[in-house]
Amino acid sequence: MNPPLPFVEFRFKQYNITKGGNMGKTKSLKLFLVVMLVSSLSLNFFFIFRVFLVGDQLSWSRRAAAEAEEVAAISCSGHGRVYLDSFRVDADKPPVCECYACFVGPDCSQTLTDCVADADGGNPLFLEPFWMRNAASSAVLTAGWHRLGYSFSDGSFISEELEKHIRQLHDIVGNAVTQGRYIIFGVGSTQLLNAAVHALSAQNSSSPANVVASIPYYPIYKQQTEFFRATDFNFGGDASLWRNNSDATTSLIEFVTSPNNPDGQLKEAVLHGPNVKYIYDRVYHWPHFTAISAQADDDLMLFSISKITGHGGSRFGWAVVKDENVFQRMTAYVSMNTMGVSRDTQLRTLQLIKVVLKDGGKEIFDFGYTTLRSRWEKLNETLSISKRFTLQEIGAQYCNFFNKIRGPSPAYAWLKCEREEDKDCYAVLKAAKILSRRGSLFGAEEQYVRLSLLKTQDDFDILVHRLKELISEGGAIPMAEM
């Protein structure tokens, strides 16, 4: 007899040597076969149980799931990312890596030695590693028939489940009062800025409301208010210029950004009086960026998913509002402008917030804070060897969320060129291959620039590298020493 499998044959021969004898051989062979059979059958039962009883088999969702995993498995060497909708040479080919700045090649493995450190934009990619670690819990499968209609079952454009989870998020972080407040969704907080300006402007007033902010302020306040110049509002510039304004009939709308973009300071309103209304931009009021010392309870507060979970591309923000009339006017604005926010995005945001909530926010805020804290320390250390550049000062503060005193971890560096001849700080940095955002855009002097600390670790490392080169007076440091 010749057993068909070499493995079985080997065991049979081995047994011959140790035992000997014809009957012993037969018995031990039988025993061996029985053991093998039992093991093999057990394995089969395991598989059958797994496949048919645990419900391991997916049906219609499988293609989408497999495609997402296939794309995610494409390597971009950690210096780029490939998405389902990345460019494809043709439809049957897999998508191509999108390399981060300073990296090229099909798998982003080649470094460009003379590239520019782009610290201009605010792409919140520092949180990407968190989402890769939480891949299973954060994925969302959207069925083809998901919410075709315009309205939810209550007739609104707002997901009740998402609103509930947003309130829970504020509760666990303790950064804002939402009980008894209205919530409005927007296509990013960007849409809500102008919705709020619109809602707070006096209708049919003889003179338009002046929209103001204290310097340095987020450039969009000015750009957007001027772009959508309406009959009932216009941009009035620096808030402090209106401090001694005796004309109490002029309506004023003050943007108060706390923590502030660009400098991370905890700002308070500059103007007071019965003719002043406020829009509190609270998008950075999260434990990544600042100590949470109290629940904010302003009349109108704006938040954005971009600065909490990092999903800037999803375009989702919300406003927390006390006054019913303001709520109605903002809701009307969003309806008339875009008929609400994408229901696909509302579904995804719900899942992202569920992931944040599952451990009370501990993992994401720890990760965000630790990352930004270490970047801030590294940047301070890099600049400390010279007096040419200084950074804003932010103190340590007790944080109710972390239950400890925490050091600063701002989203941006507000850099000042200290030398007399470096009046145009943007140009100084640009010559050193660093792209920053001009101080004048924030209403400030050109001695200032904003550097984003929110991007990928690669982006930050290249920024530090270029700053080191600049401080060493133009001495080029090889990229490998980054």
Q: How far is residue 472's CA from residue 129's CA, in Å, rounded to a whole number?
A: 32
**Beta carbon nearer to a copy of itself, 44 or 384:** 44
| Smallest gap from residue 245 Cβ to a copy of itself (A) | 23
**Beta carbon nearer to a copy of itself, 87 or 398:** 87
352 contact partners, CB below 8 Å, separation of at least 6: 138, 305, 309, 311
Q: Is 169 in contact with 353 (CB distance < 8 Å)?
A: yes
**Beta carbon nearer to a copy of itself, 63 or 272:** 63
| Residue 191 CB neighbour total at 10 angstroms | 23
Helix (H) or strand (E) holding 390: strand 389-390
**Beta carbon nearer to a copy of itself, 84 or 385:** 84
| Smallest gap from residue 99 Cβ to a copy of itself (A) | 8
| Smallest gap from residue 89 Cβ to a copy of itself (A) | 11
Which 8-state DSSP code applies to residue 50? I
**Beta carbon nearer to a copy of itself, 17 or 148:** 148
| Dihedral angle of Cα 84, 89, 90, 96, to the nearest 10 degrees | -20
Q: How far is residue 207's CA from residue 202's CA, in Å, rounded to a whole number?
A: 9
**Beta carbon nearer to a copy of itself, 125 or 383:** 125
Q: How far is residue 174's CA from residue 97's CA, in Å, rounded to a whole number?
A: 40
67: its two tokens: 């495609």
| Smallest gap from residue 401 Cβ to a copy of itself (A) | 22
| Smallest gap from residue 262 Cβ to a copy of itself (A) | 17
Amino acid at 34: V
**Beta carbon nearer to a copy of itself, 109 or 400:** 109
| Smallest gap from residue 81 Cβ to a copy of itself (A) | 7
Q: How far is residue 301's CA from residue 365's CA, in Å, rounded to a whole number?
A: 21
443: its two tokens: 């209403």
| Smallest gap from residue 319 Cβ to a copy of itself (A) | 14
Of 134, 137, 142, the closest CA to residue 64 belongs to 142
